[in-house]
Structure 1
């Protein structure tokens, strides 16, 4: 049977099965990217309104959550590289724990924003903050469902047969790819929410000869 070969040289999953699952993941990520791209365009266009007030407060909890998500990515990559030994099992569990900690830090940042009078029903920029970070958090939660099952299987890895271990290694590889995507998406959202201002949009439009949306 043809098999996909891991970077370390061990077979991890029948190639056709892994390729189909990987293709499914990339199709899903394409849909998610399109969704966030549309929200991003709406965010930039909404800046043209007279009532727009850029976010001027960045709670330190967001920096904490960014670090936690980056650490979760590292943990899942470690689990992928060591899916067949004890180090991989520990890394998989750590990836799940760090992801839960990320969600907790995000919730904490919401509380900090509301304490500073940034609310869902406030300025449009405030509403976009809660919507985009909440939507990203939902995708992290969805990934955690699959990741938790993978981490559980990693912990029980000693009792698994050969083919089951290969399938598990493929699942771990997909989890690692998904978490890398979540981190990249989060960094883009962070930059969009706090560093993309009407002045930045104006400067970019001027540099490429475009006319930005006009205020009403």
Structure 2
């Protein structure tokens, strides 16, 4: 999700402070139906590319797991469990912010901050999880599984940081007098959708890295008639 996507649809005319969002006859206040649709399509396109990228890495992971030098990961450190809870909180915070913004509630700003801070805590907890995994001998250059672990979780963390950077630009603008109810609703809704994707990707990665085993891959491939090494 890019900040520029939202900046192109930022309203130029001043408006009163937070008011409930109401549709006009042509779709949205100010005749912005086309811009809003373009922003939504742009985000969905970006999320589709992100999902495709992670799906390709997941396929590569499951192909590599069948080799004889594969080693199972150590027990999941508590920091990664905490990361999961924090990202759930961030996703929930943005969802609440989107609903409140649509109703014209100023409390939406507070929930945007909650979502952003929960994301920051997620990144910090993730770094703690890396340290804990390294302390158990799970080093990036140690085994193929460890290399995949740091690459996939690091790539996910980069997308979290990117969303945080965009949100840091968007959130202060929600309180500006010139922001219309339609723009505030759109901005928070796009952030919420992006964080829902981050949460779904994290849960998928967590399951891939800590529950998928070579035996499971062989059983599934054998059922499907796919030869494995």
Tell whether the structures are fold-level matches, with TM greater than 0.5.
yes
- Normalised to the residue count of structure 1, the TM-score between the two structures is 0.88
Distance 1:196 1:152 in 2: 42
Tell me what 1:4 maps to. Answer: none
Which consecutive residues of structure 2, in runs of 5 or more, have no partner in the other structure?
1-19
Tell me: CA distance 1:40–1:162, structure 2 relative to 1, closer, same or farther (3 Å): closer
Structure 2 counterpart of 1:33, from 43, 51, 58: 51
Using CA pairs under 8 Å that are at least 6 residues apart, name the structure with larger relative contact order, 1 or 2: 2
Alignment of 1:70-89 (within 5 A): 70-83=88-101, 84-89=104-109
Contact 1:150 1:168 in 2 (8 A): no
State the 4+ residue runs in structure 1 displaced beyond 4 angstroms.
none
Tell me what 2:194 maps to. Answer: 178
Task: State the SS of the aligned residue for 2:38.
Answer: helix
- Provide the alpha-carbon RMSD of the alignment: 1.6
Alpha-carbon deviation of 1:103?
0.3
Tell me what 1:161 maps to. Answer: 178
Alpha-carbon deviation of 1:150?
2.1
Structure 1 counterpart of 2:135, from 112, 115, 125: 115
1:60 aligns with 2:78: yes
Distance 1:150 1:162 in 2: 11
Tell me what 2:145 maps to. Answer: 125
- Normalised to the residue count of structure 2, the TM-score between the two structures is 0.84
Contact 2:95 2:192 in 1 (8 A): yes
Deviation per residue, 1:53-78 (Å, 9 max, x gap) = 02132111111000000000100000
Alpha-carbon deviation of 1:208?
2.5
Distance 1:88 1:110 in 2: 33
1:103 aligns with 2:123: yes
